[in-house]
Structures are given as structure tokens and as C-alpha cells.
């Protein structure tokens, strides 16, 4: 990341400015939260392609209920979180009960959630939001940098996830499940129940990311979330979590999210089109996975 920062600084004087660092943090807070849920799933040797759409559908539900239906905004937020969580539960149920591969299940729910989002919102952006939905987009200053309350929430979520994965039995079971599911089952751990909990929690996390997205942009956008599956997987893999499961560090994911944010921001300042940014992100994923595969072979 330091090399990337040095390169982008040489290309643009604005890169190291306080205002630009504030922008990076605002961009990272959404994909950073999505990457928490993605990390939990990948640690179990799974994958979640639906994460961006579960974030989007949660954000659309809460904004549409709050604006069009004039529902209490806090209740609308709760409804949005419940919808994202329900989709996460559906992912887990199909994987554990029907024994479908995570790739196929989450690819299917990605398309289902996208279609429902478009139908429910009539493909229209929802604006004029109540203050409660924009709270986490508010900022306070730390020196020359404006930090959003959403960034603080993201950091708190990382600390909670770090503690749970490192210091609790369920957290250790997640790692064990990713290392060897059959051995974990023979130890007396209900692996199906554990997977169901992981995917359900991931859905809740994506819903929270949807709330942060709404707070950052000030609108409910039915087109949102279409690149977050790639960005979150990139953050997880760059952070050192193995796509083969059982190995990784949630704080590494935070570093990976910052790397993604730095690359996206630096490329934008250089005038690189978004389609080429996606191309570069894809290359980063392939390189990171190839490195992980080589290290596993040597190990």
C-alpha cells in the first residue's frame, strides 16, 4: 500500500491532502463493512457473490419505507436490516439444507435480490431522506481530516469481529470449519448450524453496509452494489484471508479494504475510467489468489 501511495502522490498533488484522505475513508467505510461479512463466509471456505445486492436491497427497503410510506425512519431501518438478514438466512439454508454450492446459491440470490430491488423501487432513485438515515454520513474533524460517524461504526464492527474470531469458541469453530469441515463435525460441532449462522450474520452486516451507503450518498440507489462483491473479495484476499478457508485475519481485511480504496481513489485522480478500475481490481484478485495458492503448495 505504501508503494501505491507513493506512486499516486507522484501523479497527483491532491492525493495526500486531508480532503482526499477524508474521501478515501468515506469510500472505504461501505466496502469495508461488506468485507466483514465476506470474510466470515470465506473463512468457512465459502463465497458470497450476493453481498452487494443484499446491501442494495436493504438500502432500498429502508429508504422507500421511510420516504414513500412515511414510516418511522428507525423502524424503516430495522425493516431494511431484516430483509438483508433474511436473504443471508436463505443463502445459509440453501447451502446447509439443500446442499447446494455457495457459489451457485449466492449467484442466484444476487439476481433475485437485484430483480426485487428494481421492481420495488421502479428503478428510481429515492431522495429527500429523513435525518436518521443520513446520520452516519455526518462528519467530525480529526486535525485536517473529516471523519464520518459511519467510519467509526465500521472500526467498531472490525474490533467486535476481531474479538469474536480470536477469543471466542464460535470464532474458533469458524476457522475449524474452513480448515476441515468433516473433522469439525466429528468433534461434535454442528457444522450446518454454524454455516447457517455465518451466512445469516453476513446478511445483517450487508444490511448495515446498506445503511452506511445511504448515509454517504444521501439517496437510495437501486443500481448500487454491483461492484461490491468484487471489491469485498479483493479486500478479503489482499488482507491475507485464504479463499480456500480456515486461514485469515479480520484486521487484514480492513487493510485490504484500505488498499482497494487507495487504488480506486488514486486511479480516479489520474483520470482512469471506472471500467479500467474494475479491470485492475480483477487483476489484483487473481494475483492475490495465485500468491495464496503458491504459498499453500509450499506449505
**pLDDT tens-place string over residues 28-75:** 999 999 999 999 999 999 999 999 999 999 999 999 999 998 899 999
The answer to whether 38 and 232 have CB atoms below 8 angstroms apart is yes
Task: Name the CA dihedral angle for 210, 216, 218, 223, rounded to a multiple of 10 degrees.
Answer: -50
* Listed ranges 22-26, 143-147, 206-210, 261-265; the one with the highest mean pLDDT: 206-210
Q: What is the DSSP string of 32-76?
A: HHHHHHHHHHHHTT---TTHHHHHHHHHHHHHHHHHTS---HHHH
pLDDT of residue 288: 80
Distance CA 207, CA 169 (A): 25
pLDDT of residue 13: 61
Average pLDDT over residues 155-160: 97
- Which of the four CATH numbers 1.10.3470, 2.30.29, 1.10.10, 1.10.20 does domain 2-290 have? 1.10.3470
Q: What is the pLDDT of residues 107-124, one digit of tens each?
A: 999 999 999 999 999 999
Distance CA 252, CA 174 (A): 17
Give the pTM. Answer: 0.93
pLDDT of residue 63: 97
Amino acid at each position: 500500500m505504501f508503494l501505491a501511495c507513493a506512486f499516486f502522490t507522484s501523479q497527483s498533488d491532491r492525493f495526500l491532502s486531508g480532503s482526499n484522505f477524508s474521501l478515501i475513508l468515506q469510500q472505504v467505510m461501505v466496502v469495508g463493512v461488506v468485507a466483514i461479512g465476506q470474510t466470515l463466509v470465506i473463512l468457512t471456505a465459502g463465497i458470497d457473490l450476493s453481498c452487494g445486492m443484499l446491501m442494495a436491497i436493504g438500502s432500498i427497503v429502508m429508504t422507500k419505507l421511510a420516504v414513500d410510506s412515511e414510516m418511522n425512519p428507525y423502524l424503516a431501518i430495522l425493516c431494511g436490516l431484516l430483509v438483508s438478514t433474511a436473504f443471508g438466512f436463505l443463502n445459509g439454508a440453501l447451502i446447509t439444507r439443500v446442499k447446494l454450492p455457495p457459489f451457485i446459491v449466492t449467484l442466484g440470490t444476487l439476481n433475485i435480490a437485484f430483480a426485487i430491488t428494481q421492481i420495488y423501487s421502479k428503478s428510481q432513485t429515492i431522495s429527500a431522506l429523513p435525518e436518521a438515515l443520513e446520520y452516519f454520513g455526518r462528519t467530525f474533524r480529526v486535525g485536517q481530516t473529516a471523519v464520518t460517524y459511519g467510519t467509526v461504526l465500521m472500526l467498531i464492527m472490525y474490533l467486535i469481529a476481531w474479538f469474536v474470531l480470536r477469543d471466542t469458541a464460535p470464532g474458533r469453530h469458524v476457522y475449524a470449519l474452513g480448515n476441515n469441515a468433516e473433522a469439525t463435525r466429528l468433534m461434535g460441532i454442528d457444522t450446518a448450524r454454524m454455516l447457517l449462522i455465518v451466512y445469516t450474520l453476513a446478511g445483517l452486516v450487508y444490511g448495515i453496509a446498506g445503511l452506511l451507503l445511504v448515509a454517504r450518498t444521501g439517496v437510495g440507489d437501486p443500481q448500487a452494489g454491483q461492484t461490491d462483491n468484487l471489491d469485498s473479495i479483493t479486500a478479503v484476499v489482499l488482507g491475507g484471508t485464504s479463499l480456500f478457508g480456515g486461514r485469515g485475519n479480520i484486521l487484514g481485511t480492513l487493510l485490504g479494504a484500505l488498499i482497494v480504496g487507495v487504488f480506486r481513489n488514486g486511479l480516479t485522480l489520474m483520470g482512469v475510467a471506472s471500467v479500467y478500475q474494475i479491470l485492475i481490481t480483477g487483476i489484483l484478485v487473481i494475483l492475490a489468489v495465485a500468491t495464496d495458492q503458491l504459498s499453500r503448495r509450499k506449505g
